[in-house]
Structure 1
Amino acid sequence: MKERDVLIKNLKELINGGHAHATFEQSVKDLPAKLQGEVPKGMPYSIWQLVEHIRITQEDILEFSRDPEYVSPEWPEGYWPKERAPKDAAAWKESVAQVIADRKEFMQLLEAEDADLFTPFAHGTGQNLLREAMLIADHNSYHVGEIIVLRRLLGAWG
């Protein structure tokens, strides 16, 4: 196996999670709807807000990585939803599904035969595909951990 293939395989495993921590899918599985918008005492946000933040940020990284014309949301307000809870069950399902779909689309960028992991994008400030892959893994795993903490505080985790 070529070094590039090994690197891509390891990046995909890192982004998907599950080795050193729970996956995104595990963190949101079977969460009662009534708890999706609950903000535990002393915490600044709900699980819904974290899921949406993961979705928005990951979509931003994906679009930035594949579209030089893409314009990111304003920081920080464009990356966090104001609503504490989803408007309905469909909104929750759509957000969770979008996180998974966008993650798969990012994997396709990594797997493309012409994918250059190391050369900085012509746009941006020196970012490259490798850095963006590690950013998704780092960002998502951090917030998955927060989701699990909130679930523990709400009495809805193992």
Structure 2
Amino acid sequence: MLTKEQAHISFAGSVEGIDYKTAGKSEKTFPYNIWQLSSHIQFTQKDILEFCTNNQYKEPKWPDDYWPSNAKPTQQEWQDCLSYFQEDRNSFVNLIKNPSADLLAPIPHGTGQNLLREAILICDHTAYHTGQIVLLRKLLGNW
């Protein structure tokens, strides 16, 4: 679920061929643009990775830290978002593939969460917003 398309398109597939200008386009009936959704997906995935790996984890402020402050990305911000998403995804996959990883052990600084739950959360959250990206692309006539 983290690395391949299954029953629906992947995040990477949903933004394939999108440039930074298109990512910043809005549709009046939709509350977000592709940039905002993509940035939110990337940040949230990074936050979950940090939670799972950093004993000194500090929870970001909701919702301010989880959504980009700018409505339109620069070309560099867009490319960074896509690159960081993939890097963080690879890091999380490596984390759960580690033979010493106990997917069901509670995360020491958490409140009962474990790696399996966090992997499912990443998949679920990304799939939800990826569906919004596909819908938005359709509304923009870009699908």
Question: For residue 90 of structure 2, what is the amino acid of its counterpart?
Answer: K
Instruction: Give the match for residue 78 of structure 1.
Output: 65
> Structure 1 length as normaliser, TM-score?
0.87
Instruction: Give the match for residue 42 of structure 1.
Output: 29
Question: Could you tell me how far 1:125 is from its partner in structure 2?
Answer: 1.1
For 2:2 and 2:88, locate their aligned partners in 1 and report how far apart those are by CA, in whole Å.
11
Question: Could you tell me how far 1:17 is from its partner in structure 2?
Answer: 4.2
Residues 129 and 112 (structure 1 numbering): CA distance in 2 closer, same or farther, change over 3 Å?
Answer: same
For 1:114 and 1:42, locate their aligned partners in 2 and report how far apart those are by CA, in whole Å.
48
Question: Could you tell me how far 1:84 is from its partner in structure 2?
Answer: 1.2
Q: Provide the aligned length of Structure 1 versus Structure 2.
A: 143
Question: Could you tell me how far 1:16 is from its partner in structure 2?
Answer: 2.4
Unaligned segments of structure 1, at least 5 residues: 1-13
Correspondences of 1:84-95 after superposition (within 5 Å):
84-86=71-73, 88-95=74-81
Instruction: Give the match for residue 116 of structure 2.
Output: 130
> Structure 2 length as normaliser, TM-score?
0.95
Q: Which has the larger radius of gyration?
A: 1
For 2:43 and 2:20, locate their aligned partners in 1 and report how far apart those are by CA, in whole Å.
21
Unaligned segments of structure 2, at least 5 residues: none
Instruction: Give the match for residue 90 of structure 2.
Output: 104
